[in-house]
Amino acid sequence: MFETDEPKMTSFHIPTMAEMTANGNTPEVLFWVGCAGSFDDRAKRITKAIAKILNAAGTSFAVLGQEESCSGDPAKRAGNEFLYQMQAAQNIAILNGYGINRIITGCPHCFNVLKNEYPELGGNYEVQHHTQFIRELIEQGKLRMADGGVFKGKKITFHDPCYLGRGNGEYLAPREVIASLDAELIEMRRCKQNGLCCGAGGAQMFKEAEKGTAEVNHARTEDVLESKAEIVATGCPFCNTMMTDGVKHANKEGEIIVKDVAELIAEAADLL
Amino acid sequence: MMSQLIFLLLLSTGIFFFVRRIRFIQKNIRLGRDVDLSDQKAKRWKTMARVALGQGKMTARPVAGIMHIVIYVGFVIINLEMLEILLDGLLGTHRIFAEPLGPVYDVLIGSFEWLAAGVILSCVVFFIRRNGMAIARLRSRELAGWPSLDANIILVVEVLLMFAFLSMNATDGIAQLRGLPHYVNAGSFPVSQWLMPLYAGFSDTGLVAVERGMWWFHIAGVLAFLVYVPYSKHFHIILAFPNTYFSDLTPAGAMNNMESVTREVKLMMDPSADPYATPAESAEPPAPFGAKDATDLTWKQLMESYSCTECGRCTSECPANQTGKLLSPRKIMMDTRDRIEEIGKARDANGGQWESDGKSLLGHYITEEELWACTSCQACVQACPINISPMGIILDMRRSLIMEDSKSPESITSMFNNIENNGAPWAFPAESRGDWTQDV
């Protein structure tokens, strides 16, 4: 479980909405991948894990592919409402054009914007974060963990993404999903409502931090070390990057692994 | 009769200055932009009941929270005693409730005394925490000077008022034992009995003088405090209620939509719209985007600035502040209030008309460096015991920086360009967005 190689090549096809529509089909859900999940090499592994989970659970899904564009979150949080609304208008036109009703996202920033901010601009969908959807799949018995429990007894802590936790009050779904791993879920000193940010939100991901005495992700890594967790579970590609860097900075790369909840599940269900 | 007149004069002077100050603040808050928060009344009352009346968020920090609740309950309940003092003062009576309430009166006075003792204890602990202990949020640089003095004045005055209340009871109790005229046998003195030895040696005249003196000190002190409160951070005792009533009820992650931008975007995307059309003569000049000055904020945000009691829970939870950045969410609120005060004073000095003084909240009070340190993590919003959102002001100011002044760190500009050109914050070609599907 400590190797970081690419997921195994298993063959299944991920259709785009354009393909599906051309074939006269409608998927159950649209998987909104997000920019990090589409382009960032590390985050792509999370994306693939989510896709494998959906596939294994028999969920009929599609992606937008080239038709997906940035949700506009970093532009809006950085103050560029114009750019945000242009992005939103474009995305909503496409989503509404395909008659999308249900969306799952691999990123809490996209999740928040699509769920809370698109409705005012005419985009009304049932939006779920991937941990919420995975919880449903487990509850419905559509997704089973493999025997042998690769995470049995492992100490896992969940780092709450701000826009899933405080932003939308979802603290339980990722924890319930982790609970299915038969691992030991431990909490950091600051968690849930009081969780410390990874430092990437509000468009910080795209700029240098302001002058200070420490980096936010290093401070958060201190919380991880204090908790004695062996695995930091994340639910956001940005948190994942920040925590991976933080663990590296603390020279704990060999001891603490940072993985998205979806990756842990995909691994436990022997999908990778 | 004379004392009744003096009392009436004192009372009306106190109320006059209080009301004058409230009117000033009200006018200042109304300088903010309009926002409609008249919806969801049931939910609003509930939020106010839970957060302000019920102190629902206070005990997130147990020590300060519990002692705050003691002071709060003490303040609310002991004010019942104020009603009696008012009536006695106006009618020239003494302990007017004693006879009609009978034994209930004894229970009431007894419980007031216990609460007064609790208030004194809490205020002393707060004073020590503030001045003798290294509690970071009570030592931040934005508290230097007046804010720190303000906090200490409040604590000292509360202790003095409670001491006066207990001394008044102690001397009254002795007077009752001595059977002095006017001192009806009433009340129970579970706490002030311990003060009685202090006054036991006084002559009858001396005793009555102290009792009357404490009575007058208490009422005069309360009236002075009434006038002081709206000049102070202590104004939260009133504004916490409307402020929580008008809480933002959307999920904390949701950021408001700018209607003015929506109109522009729709126009841009409408092929039949005439981009060169001149606006109608009657059209009002468009409002600036985002907030540059305090008057660009909504009235709710200005109300929040007057509601802030500078406890600093927001700042101590802020990841930027914790890692040594310049940003302090509390300072954002304090700056906003200072600026709208300045604007209000200039407006009144200018016969009610506000003319720009060339200054603005963004730039003269709050720097760009502070704004860009925010991660929009909402920890400040979560931490605020009365649902203030410093983050909302920060993000509104970023809007002004970007959309009015086109000022952004270089890397942020590149991020904007990337989104505009290839639909992602990084410089990856849009065509490759779906490439990951090829090797699943």
DSSP one-letter code for A5: P
Chain A and chain B share a number of CB contacts under 8 A equal to 225
Do residues A250 and A205 both lie within one domain? Answer: yes
Per-residue pLDDT of chain B (440 residues; tens, 9 = 90+): 788 899 999 999 999 999 999 999 999 999 999 999 999 999 999 999 999 999 999 999 999 999 999 999 998 888 888 889 889 988 988 899 988 998 999 999 999 999 999 999 999 999 999 999 989 999 999 999 999 999 999 999 999 999 999 999 999 999 999 999 889 888 889 999 999 999 989 999 999 999 999 999 988 999 999 999 999 999 999 999 999 999 999 999 999 999 999 998 888 888 887 767 776 666 677 789 999 999 999 999 999 999 999 999 999 999 999 999 999 999 999 999 999 999 999 999 999 898 899 999 999 999 999 999 999 999 999 999 999 999 999 999 999 999 999 999 999 999 999 999 999 999 999 999 999 999 88
Q: Cβ-count burial of A126 within 10 angstroms (0-12 exposed, 13-18 middle, 19+ buried)?
A: exposed
Which of these, A249, A111, A166, lies nearest to B317 by C-alpha position?
A: A166
Q: Are residues A157 and A260 in the same domain?
A: yes
Question: Which tens digits make up the pLDDT trace of A59-98?
Answer: 999 999 999 999 999 999 999 999 999 999 999 999 999 9
Please tell me if residue A41 touches chain B, with a CB cutoff of 8 Å: no
Residue A26 touches partner B, C-beta closer than 8 Å: no
Calculate mean pLDDT across residues A18-32.
96
The CATH number given to whatever domain includes residue A51 is 3.40.50.1860
The CATH number of residue A239's host domain is 3.40.50.10700
Cβ atoms of A257 and A135 closer than 8 Å? no
The reply to whether A76 falls in a domain is: yes
Judge if A176 and A263 occupy the same domain. Answer: yes
3-state secondary structure of A31: strand
Using CB atoms, pick whichever of B254, B432, B439 lies closest to residue A117: B254
Enumerate the residues of chain A whose CB falls inside 8 A of the CB of residue B414: 206
Residues A132 and A179 in one domain: no
Instruction: Inform me whether the pLDDT recorded for A4 exceeds 50.
Output: no
Chain A contact present for B401, CB below 8 A: yes
Q: Which of A197, A211, A223, A243 has the most B C-beta neighbours within 10 Å, making it the best mutation to test the interface with B?
A: A197
pLDDT in tens, B122-164: 999 999 999 999 899 999 999 999 999 999 999 999 999 999 9
Return the residue in A38, A76, A121, A189 with the most chain B beta carbons within 10 A, the one to mutate for interface testing.
A38
Give the integer Cα–Cα distance in Å for B253 and A166.
7
Residue A9 has pLDDT above 50, yes or no: no
- Residue at which a domain ends, from A136, A154, A177: A136
**In terms of domains, do A120 and A154 share one?**
no
Report if residue A2 sits inside a domain.
no
Q: Both A193 and A257 in a single domain?
A: yes
The dihedral sign for the CA sequence B436, A269, A131, A134: positive
Same domain membership, residue A230 and residue A259: yes
- The minimal CB distance from A210 to the residues B268, B369, B428 is found for B369
Of A112, A136, A160, the residue that ends a domain is: A136
Q: Which amino acid is at B106?
A: D
- Listing DSSP states for B99-134 in one string gives HHHTHHHHHHHHHHHHHHHHHHHHHHHHHHHHHHS-
Query: Which DSSP symbol is given to A207?
Result: S
Residue with tokens 């779904």: A173
Q: Are residues A33 and A108 in the same domain?
A: yes
CB contacts, 8 Å: B399 with chain A: 79-81
Distance CA A10, CA A32 (A): 21
Concatenated DSSP letters of A157-193: EE---TTTTTTT---HHHHHHHHTTT-EEE--SS-GG
Of the candidates A62, A60, A167, the residue with the CA atom closest to the CA atom of residue A114? A167
Residue B274: Cβ within 10 Å count: 8
Q: Quote the CA–CA distance of B125 and B147 in Å, as a whole number.
A: 18
- Whether B440 sits inside 8 A of A206 (CB atoms) is no
The answer to whether A19 touches A67, Cβ cutoff 8 Å, is no
B280: DSSP letter: P
In a domain, A199, yes or no: yes
A247 shares a domain with A179 = yes
Task: State the DSSP H helix or E strand holding residue B314, giving kind and residue range, or none if neither.
Answer: helix B313-317
Q: What's the structural domain count of chain A?
A: 2
Q: What is the largest CA-CA distance in chain B?
A: 99
Please tell me whether residues A189 and A263 are part of one structural domain: yes
Q: How far apart are CA B347 and CA A54, in angstroms?
A: 62
Does the beta carbon of B403 lie under 8 angstroms from any beta carbon of chain A?
A: yes
Handedness of CA B341, B345, B346, B348 (dihedral sign): positive
φ and ψ at A222, to 5 degrees? -55, -40
What is the number of other CB atoms lying within 10 angstroms of the CB of residue B64?
Answer: 21
A132 with A192, same domain?
no
Q: Where are the domains of chain B?
A: 2-234, 288-422
CATH pick for B288-422 out of 1.10.1060, 3.30.2420, 1.10.1740, 3.30.1360: 1.10.1060
Judged on CB neighbours under 10 Å (0-12, 13-18, 19+), B100 is exposed
Range of the domain at A21: 17-136
C-alpha gyration radius of chain B = 28
A94 and A171 housed in the same domain: no
Is the CB of residue A166 less than 8 Å away from at least one CB of chain B? Answer: yes
